[in-house]
Structure 1
């Protein structure tokens, strides 16, 4: 009698299924709502000399109240996810489908290429919302006379276009795209690699536990790789002048040493890990819902 096959052996590789383009943006928007206070703390730490994530968030709430202190810029955060994340997830899935060979698993290097291209396009699409988000979340760090006080993301976009020109919506687009490429290669592709590797090693079955573990590991990798680009991006977008990337990096090294590259890493990790977990666990459940509706 032939030995029974293992789950990994029994499951034949197949081309990734096609899902609605907007699923990633919807899942990322929900994750943004859940983790936005941590994003506020991260940006305020990156654009000022505040010390400690908890102190930064506590001081913000005390000074500005819970809504403005913890949820400043929430509308811009959701707009960012429905541009940046909608694009990166949609393009990533489309490229995986195009690059896959029937009956064969998609290699990790192809996943990385697909994720990098998707991240670059997402970074461009989401840059205007990102500029507004950084300014809204860091506004409280400025003297009152210099505060912008955007009412919402749309007010921010319109005022930037009116007062500074359309080009300012793409301030920091270089480091933002570089960060987005790294983020996607180290988050989307890494999630798929961890998930596939764990399943093939028969360590876990496909389910919530696997999704949690894979997304937690992907979030940690992504935070560490993207930290320097995240700081540069935030500082450039927060600047009202025309300071370039080289100037920002030189000034940061001169005044803060090498530690500036990982400034805000803790709130970034605390924010990105649950954010990544929520995104992928939500996305996986949404995909299962689509599969159920398809019958």
Structure 2
């Protein structure tokens, strides 16, 4: 009697979570300079001093950062970024299918169940991974230029200083905004990717393989970037701000609006898309391939035993 084919064997939840975590770390390591450029462009405008460096465009920001602060500054906060992917991305992506099945009312999953799954996994991921987000943003934003003393010397130093000077709540600063951002990105990203892949395969435009995954990931990244940009900019500004600069998140948004105008909410949009779009491509392709290979290995072991 023949055993099931690879396509008949579904990956376990553990395989999905592990694959999502590894794929997210690979994607983060590759696209991190774009994320750093996005953060620097988003906080630009807070410091109005004449000596402040003005960043122009994605490439201009990256080259200016590398020239003035050294190439390694582009990877400032990477350890916290990888910790964020391990603690949150692995759950929000790895648990998506399982949550989708939980919310499904029949054999076929509806759009409502996809959105509900995205909301749930996105919320869980934020509460677990918020401290890593706070540390990552602050390390990316800090500069040693113009005699400024860095607030933190490294990742674990940042965790310690934030916890001791701002309390444990400081590590969860901006959780509400990040929760809103994560829900928007998670729902848009995962649901759009899911729907696009399904449509391309069902209509026989592309097979369920790398070209299909790349196309779906790019479209998902674009939709998620545009919808989440205003929340993302306010979140970055609020998380990076020292105690007392803004009285609340709405105050941060109103300060941006009155001082810099509506366009401030879309600062860093191009690097945000380049980063999220390329992050999606690397992550989803790695995720799908790793998940497939681990499932195939598990099937081989099961057949051997």
Provide the TM-score with structure 2 as the length reference. Answer: 0.87
* More displaced stretch, 126-135 vs 82-91: 82-91
Which sections of structure 1, spanning at least 5 residues, go unmatched?
1-13
Q: 2:176 aligns with which of 165, 174, 180?
A: 174
CA contact (8 A) 1:182 1:222 kept: yes
CA distance in structure 2 between the aligned counterparts of 1:113 and 1:211, rounded to whole angstroms = 22
User: Match for residue 95 of structure 2?
Assistant: 91
CA contact (8 A) 2:122 2:179 kept: yes
Deviation at 1:148, TM superposition (A): 1.0
CA distance in structure 2 between the aligned counterparts of 1:28 and 1:258, rounded to whole angstroms = 32
CA distance in structure 1 between the aligned counterparts of 2:91 and 2:160, rounded to whole angstroms = 22
User: Match for residue 33 of structure 2?
Assistant: 37
User: Match for residue 43 of structure 2?
Assistant: 47
Runs of 4+ in 1 over 6 A off after TM superposition: none
CA distance in structure 1 between the aligned counterparts of 2:131 and 2:146, rounded to whole angstroms = 24
User: Is 1:234–2:227 an aligned residue pair?
Assistant: no
CA change 1:87–1:142 in 2 (3 A) is farther
CA contact (8 A) 1:80 1:126 kept: yes
User: Match for residue 148 of structure 2?
Assistant: 145
CA change 1:144–1:84 in 2 (3 A) is farther
User: Match for residue 77 of structure 1?
Assistant: 81
Deviation at 1:131, TM superposition (A): 0.5
CA distance in structure 1 between the aligned counterparts of 2:294 and 2:138, rounded to whole angstroms = 37
CA distance in structure 2 between the aligned counterparts of 1:77 and 1:17, rounded to whole angstroms = 26
Deviation at 1:195, TM superposition (A): 0.5
Provide the TM-score with structure 1 as the length reference. Answer: 0.90
User: Is 1:128–2:131 an aligned residue pair?
Assistant: yes
CA distance in structure 2 between the aligned counterparts of 1:159 and 1:149, rounded to whole angstroms = 8
Deviation at 1:17, TM superposition (A): 4.5
Q: Cα RMSD (Å) of the superposition?
A: 2.0
CA distance in structure 2 between the aligned counterparts of 1:221 and 1:121, rounded to whole angstroms = 22
Deviation at 1:143, TM superposition (A): 5.1
